[in-house]
Homo-oligomer: A and B are copies of this chain.
Amino acid sequence: MPAFNSTSTQVEQVTAFRHVAIIGLGLQGGSIGLAVQEFVPGSSTTGYDLSPENRARAAELGLVHQVCETAADAVRDADLVIFCVPPGAIGEAAAAIRDAIPADALVSDVGSSKQAIAKALRKALPDHLVIPAHPVAGTENSGPNAGFAHLFRNRWCIVTPPEQTDLVKLSALVEFWETLGANVEIMTPEHHDLVLAVTSHLPHLIAYTIVGTASDLEDVTQGEVIKYSAGGFRDFTRIAASDPTMWRDVFLSNKEAVLTMLQRFTEDLTALQRAIRVGDGNALFDHFTRTRAIRRSIIEEGQDDSRPDFGRGDHNGGVGRDS
């Protein structure tokens, strides 16, 4: 059967996993399902979501080849099981299907904090090989409708293996994420949590805070806040529209690193506050000049769009924020 041979050969070339099971069919899980179907021809995907509505929608959208009615059914024949549920729910979700996950299957996840999740998965699945991962990609949308196959393209996926691990399975997982379009970086869970605390968790906490502050004012109406949001505020509202359950769990599961970064942020904010109060224009100017360089580097490395204002609005850089 040449057709079969060519397919199977192709599968060998593409990734070592022939059956990927996805637990949780939201933005991340749905996107992985679509990406595997598009980039890993010949492999099969099964999926499960706790919510019957999400399961039905995932089936309609074809996020995976087969949406199962139980998590156990979804993982039964899998050689790669990826948990795409909120960090706080992973331990329980994994423990519930411990006996259904094949002994030789590789277990991974997409959670935004890694130390707490690695610990929860080790506890839930003491006899399985677990290699946690975190694709640093997404949008402010969530749920099965938010997924798309190209979510991971040119984004980084951080893999945080335990000190002793199966290097063949590790390289297979790295290859898997590269096949989905991601650039893979390997680091310790401790370092991951520190890095993400500053590049992702603190920014989200700040955005959630300022949006809350603006909506609680008595001397400025919410209508005015919305009307004049192009002045800069609206950029924060996008981040502050992210999934509340996931973010609650992120902050609780990466508490120490977030509080450490928050402490440094508060010190810096206090220094700028003082500069404003005493009218130290030079201190403000020097700080504001320094922060410009980072923006340039981010654009140079392809991690953001160089079009002014993210290319909002029309040609010439679109209508945007200012002053």
Contact = CB atoms under 8 A, between A and B. Distances in A.
Interface string A233-268: 111111111101111111110010011011011101
B230 A303 contact: yes
Interface string A12-49: 00000000000000011000000000000000000000
Interface in A164-217: 185, 194-196, 198-217
Contacts of A297: 222, 226
A290 B212 contact: yes
A323 B136 contact: yes
Contact of A323 (B250, B258, B296): B250
Nearest to A187: B224
Which DSSP category, helix, strand, loop or mixed, fits chain A's interface?
A: helix
A211 B241 contact: no
Contact of A320 (B134, B139, B276): B139
Contacts of A242: 288, 322-323
Interface of A: 27-28, 88, 110-112, 134, 136-141, 146, 148-156, 158, 185, 194-196, 198-217, 219-220, 222, 224-242, 244-252, 255, 258-259, 261-262, 264-266, 268-269, 272-273, 276-277, 279, 281, 284-285, 287-292, 294-298, 301, 303-305, 308-323
12 contacts: A112-B231, A134-B323, A136-B230, A139-B308, A140-B320, A196-B323, A198-B213, A202-B213, A208-B287, A229-B298, A259-B273, A305-B312
